Amino acid sequence: MANIKIKKYVSRLFEKAGITIDGNMPYDIQVRNDNTYKRLLSEGALGAGESYMDEWWDCKALDQFISRILSINIEKYVKGNWRLLYHVIKSRLFNLQNIRRAFVIGREHYDLGNDLYAAMLGKKMLYSCGYWKEANNLDDAQEAKLDLICRKINLEPGMSVLELGCGFGYFAKFAAEKYGARVTGITVSEEQLKLGMEICRGLPVELKLEDYRNISGKYDRVISIGMLEHVGYKNYRAYMENVDKALKTDGIAFIQTIGANDSTTTVNAWTCKYIFPNSLIPSISQIGQAMEGIFVMEDWHNFGEHYEKTLMAWFENFDSAWPELKKQYDDRFYRMWKYYLLSCAGAFRSRHLQLWQIAMTKPGNKQPYCRVS
C-alpha cells in the first residue's frame, strides 16, 4: 500500500473515533513524520508507542486520544507483522513467568528508582489503584483502598496476613497499625524491600525477597494487590494452589488485579517491551478456571473507573517532579513514561481495562460478609 493510501486509510480509521490528523482538538494527533502511518498500521500498539517515543507524532491529550482509539476497537483494523507475532509465539511456547524469570520484573521495572516512585505515587507509595468513592486526592484514595481491603477480608487484631507482592510495604504498615495484624510480605524487587523495611520498622511486619511459589506457613488471610498481572496464564492455577496451601481452613483470600475483557496469552507488545516485561492481564474466565475446585468466590467488585483517576494523579505528580527527575532520566524516558501513564488512563476510561477486587474462601465454611463498598 503506497504511503498516500496508508495515510488516507489511517485518517479514515481515526475519523471513526472523532480524531482529525493535525486537527485543533486536544485529542487530535499531530504528525511530524509521514512514516508514522505505516508504522501505526503495521505494528499496532508497539509502533504507536515507539513512534511517540521517537517524536514522530504528538498529542496534547494522550489519554483522550487513546480512549477514543480503543473505543472503536482499532486493533481489528491493524494487521500483524513478525515483530508482533514474535510476542504471541513466545508466550505460547514458553512460560514467561516461570520461577527462573520471577525477578526480571523487579529488576527492570520496580527497581528503576525509589526517587521516581516516591515522586509519582504520593505519600502512601502505593503502586495500585486507589478508591475514590469519597476521596478528593490521591493520598486519601489510597488510604481508603487499604481500609476497604481490610474490611473486605474481615481483618481483626492478632490475625496473620500474607501479602504476595508487598510493594513498598504500605499495606503491611496500615494493617499492622490500624488493625493490629501481623503481616508477612514478599516482593521480587530489592529496592521495594529496602524501603519497605524502613517504612515498617518497629511493627509486627516481616518483608522478604521471595517468589510466591516458595511461600511457607499458614495464615488467616492471604492477599495480593496488583500482583496477579505478573503471574501469567500458565501459572494462574499454581498461584491459586499456593494461596490455598498458605491459607488456613477458615481464612479469606483476596486479590486486587487489573482485568481484561477477553482472554489473551500476551499483553500488548509495547507495554511488554518497555514497561512490564512478561506481564499479562487476566480475564474473568482465566481467573475462574484457576480457582475452580479450590475456592468459593465470595465477592467480585469492579471499580475500573477509579484507575483512570489514579493514573492521571500519578502523571500529574510525575510531570510536576520532572525538573528534578530529569537529572537522573533522559527526555526519551519522559516520553516513554508519559505514554505509559496516559495510555493506561485512556484504556480504563474506554472500559478496555477493568479493576477487580475478589474475595475467596475455602469450600465448606460459613459465608463471610465481604461485600463492602
Catalytic amino acids? Answer: 344
Residue 339 pairs in a beta bridge with none
Whether 371 contacts 311, CB under 8 Å:
no
Grid cell of 332 as nine digits: 526519551
Check: CB of residue 191 under 8 Å from CB of residue 110. Answer: yes
Are 303 and 353 a contacting pair, CB within 8 Å?
no
Instruction: State CA 85 to chain mean position distance.
Output: 23
Maximum CA extent, the chain: 69
Q: DSSP labels for 286-318?
A: HHHHHHTTT-EEEEEEE-THHHHHHHHHHHHHH
Residue that has been written with the C-alpha cell 513478525 in this structure: 82
Nearest to 272 by CA among 54, 81, 90, 51: 90
The candidate with the shortest Cα–Cα distance to 279, out of 192, 345, 195, 340, is 340
Handedness of CA 40, 43, 45, 48 (dihedral sign): negative
Angle between helices 36-53 and 3-16 (to 10 degrees): 70
Q: Distance from first CA to last CA of the chain, Å, rounded?
A: 52
Please enumerate, as own/partner, the contacts of 329-337 that have beta carbons within 8 Å and a separation of 24 or more.
Answer: 329/113, 329/116, 332/53, 335/52, 335/53, 335/55, 336/49, 336/53, 336/274, 336/275
Residue 182 — φ and ψ, nearest 5°? -105, 120
Three-class secondary structure of residue 219 per DSSP: strand
Using DSSP's 3-state secondary structure scheme, residue 61 falls into coil
